[in-house]
Amino acid sequence: MEKKYDHKIQEPEIQKKWEEKGIFTGKIDKNKKPFTIVLPPPNANGKLHTGHVLMLAIEDILIRWKKMQGYSTLWVPGTDHAGFETQVVFERHLKEKGKSRFDYDRDSLYKEIWDFVQENKGVIESQIKSMGPGLDWTRYTFTLDDKVVDTVYETFQRMVEEGMVYRDDYIVNYCPKCGTTFADLELRHVTRKDPLYYMKYGPFVVATTRPETKFGDTAVAVHPNDERYKEYIGKEIEVEGLNGNLKLKVIGDTFVDPKFGTGVVKVTPAHDKNDYEAGRRHSLEIKSVIGLDGKLNENTGPYVGLSVEEGRKKVVEDLQRKGLMIKIDYDYEHTVSVCYKGGHDIEPTVLPNWFIKVENFKKPALDVVINKEVKIYPRWREITYVKWMEEMRDWPISRQVVWGIRIPAWYSVEENPSIQVTFLNKKKERITGKVSDLIKKYSFSEIEEGLQSLIAPKNAKSIISKARPNGNYLQETDTFDTWFSSGHWPLVTLGYPNSDDFHYFYPTSVMETGWEIIRFWVSRMIMFGIYLTGKPPFSDVYLHGLVRAIDGKKMSKSLGNVIDPLDYVSEYGADALRMGLISGTANGKDFAFPRDKVVAYRNFANKLWNMARFILLLMENNEVVEYKEGNDKNITDVDKEIIQKLRSLIYGVNNSLEKFRFSDASDLIYQFMWHEVADNYIEYVKTREDKGVALGVLKYVFTTGLKVLHPFMPFVTEAIWSNIETNGLLIENRWPE
């Protein structure tokens, strides 16, 4: 046995042994109970971060523990195409080359991103393997594999046929910079100061942060109980404008805060969610004044073509010039919605979108949690899930991005002449217009081949089909929300609906993931699992906390506090990093990266190695009297005490793991091996005259301790085992009773 444990040598060698023997290849064994985990798929174009390491460590503990207990285990790996995020990364790549997505037709851009991802996706796969997880790579799945796309299409078609899908003009969270919509959950809300403008509106003064949208106003609103304005409700007022006067109805609605500004607000249904809902209640016209490019449109008269910021500045100047700007409060503090990725201001916009009716879809997924068919750990996280499911509204599932699973809806250009399309013609010029006009100048094939995007009215006729229909049909250019496709993850990874894997390993056992996506992802997996199979896709959900920077702040490149876990693997070893993240962290809560603990567990690995070398030295010089469980002949009270403590350890670790209390379990085994065995029992063995008997007990206690420690620190325990025992790999041995 080498004098020193060198993780840089040992870890790759041990990983190779596991792979060569196919230790973690899942096997269908009807004589065993299955235990299945599907890995939450990291971004195929990303890099391993500390959250991934924590996730891998937790799931690997469960897989190794259950495998040693005799279960037929399967842990399925995969990576995520991560639609919007990957497209953003690729667009940065294009920018470096002096290009943008607008230089490509849709199909060509998709192929470029596909090639880019294929070139880079091996990076995170190799990084994952370096952590030593017991994944079955023979069952690897990518979220754009044909089997995934086919299943998503079949689900969508079924939902359409069952009346669960509809298209409608609806106000959505649109980011002009990113060119896509976002669900409410995908927004960030930031507090900042913006000017609050007080403008004369007929007999009123209204306060707004958005004077540039006044051209889309179709009413003014007051609170129905506001005594100052009750007499105006239901009447029409004339408002002097910048592009002709406006006649606006005065409505009474409780969404108005009488304490905000003057208690009178302008209503712009096309560009504000509250205004949109009020517009629906009062049957107001919806008049868009901002295009998808983020610029003021033809409804703004002389301001057409200006950006929102430019338009606001010019409108304010003109209102001041005409004496219609009463005052400006430059210190108004309010909350603004921005997109979660780029931090750009969200522009609420009315667009045709595909929606899922969730009322009946979500109820079974709520019931299984309330009835404890699916248990959420830590238990206090359950309330987040329940509240979200109770409040969930119809789900917009279409995204205006290229990278993803394209919605299989086809529009006949003859039957839908008002479709707006943007395409590159043969000269690579970008052309936009109604298809009925464009088809007069360009051939259908030129439009189809150069197609970048299309917007079909909400009542457009479509055919839902994976295959292209005969005739002049253009396919929907929107893609599915990634949560729609990844909601199928436990199903597609196991070959739903008819594979042997699916029949044996589904439902899976545990879904382990970060708490922040319980609403995004966990809820959708449960909904789809029940909808398609009648069963929830897993019985337990464990939600780990987020790993923050050493100072406790969120990791950020701009703050310079991002931790690269591979640096720690290189310096201290994967075992030390895994154990450092697991040990001493509050169950399911966020925590600061525990650098000191990583160092401490590197020292623990060295301690175990030295303990093993000492035991081997004793074994060379003494004949070992092998101890067998239950045979207390010739052993001392101290021997019996350490054996009893070992039994208590096994019970405690099992009990903690059953409750997903990983930190408690890791602390128990650490305390036992270091303090009970190294500090006390080994010192006692040194004084024993009957070295053979004492050594037999020591070897038994130490090797059994290695088994219990193995799920937490698999590399060093496997390396030590191979030097002491001859009966196969440690992972192949039975978990102690």
Q: CA dihedral defined by 439, 444, 446, 447, rounded to 10 degrees?
A: 70
Give the strand order in the sheet containing 451-455.
430-434, 420-424, 451-455
Among 165-169, 175-179, 648-652, whose mean pLDDT is lowest? 175-179
Q: Record the pTM.
A: 0.87
Question: In the numeric block, which tokens belong to residue 153?
Answer: 């299409």
User: How much is the pLDDT for 186?
Assistant: 73
pLDDT at 292 over 80: yes
pLDDT at 606 over 70: yes
- Name residue 424's beta-bridge partners: 430
pLDDT at 341 over 70: no
User: How much is the pLDDT for 84?
Assistant: 84
Q: Which helix (H) or strand (E) holds 412?
A: strand 409-412
pLDDT at 557 over 70: no
One-letter identity of residue 224: P
State yes or no: cis peptide before 507, omega within 30 of 0.
Answer: yes
| % of the chain beyond a pLDDT of 90 | 81
Mean pLDDT of 578-586: 86
User: How much is the pLDDT for 91?
Assistant: 86
| % of the chain beyond a pLDDT of 70 | 99
User: How much is the pLDDT for 182?
Assistant: 77
Q: Which long-range contacts (CB under 8 A, 24 or more apart) does 280-286 make?
A: 281/253, 282/219, 282/249, 282/251, 282/253, 284/218, 284/219, 284/249, 284/251, 285/218, 286/169, 286/218, 286/350
CA torsion through residues 45, 48, 52, 58, sign: positive
Mean pLDDT of 151-170: 95
User: Would you tell me which CATH number, out of the four given (1.10.357.10, 1.10.730.10, 2.30.30.360, 3.40.50.1110), belongs to the domain 594-732?
Assistant: 1.10.730.10
User: What's domain 32-164+357-407+478-544's architecture?
Assistant: 3-Layer(aba) Sandwich (3.40)
Pick from 62-71, 91-100, 183-192, 353-362 the range whose average pLDDT is largest.
62-71
Question: In the numeric block, which tokens belong to residue 694?
Answer: 């004492």
Question: In the numeric block, which tokens belong to residue 578?
Answer: 């895994």
Instruction: For 325-348, give the DSSP string.
Output: EEEEEEEEEEEEEEETTT-PBPEE
- Taking the CB of residue 45, how many other CB atoms lie within 10 A of it? 25
Mean pLDDT of 506-519: 94
Residue 506 near residue 490, CB atoms below 8 Å: yes
User: Would you tell me which CATH number, out of the four given (3.90.740.10, 3.30.70.2740, 3.40.50.10860, 3.30.460.10), belongs to the domain 180-349?
Assistant: 3.90.740.10
pLDDT tens, position by position, 411-421: 999 999 999 99
Measure the CA–CA gap between 449 and 425, rounded to whole angstroms. Answer: 9
Measure the CA–CA gap between 436 and 454, rounded to whole angstroms. Answer: 13
Mean pLDDT of 129-147: 96
Task: Categorize the per-residue pLDDT at 726 as very low, low, confident or very high, splitting at 50, 70 and 90.
Answer: confident
Three-class secondary structure of residue 654 per DSSP: helix
User: How much is the pLDDT for 113?
Assistant: 96
CA torsion through residues 92, 93, 99, 105, sign: negative
Domain limits, the chain: 32-164+357-407+478-544, 180-349, 411-477, 594-732
Mean pLDDT of 591-609: 94
Residue 292 near residue 174, CB atoms below 8 Å: yes
Residue that has been written with the tokens 């078609």 in this structure = 157
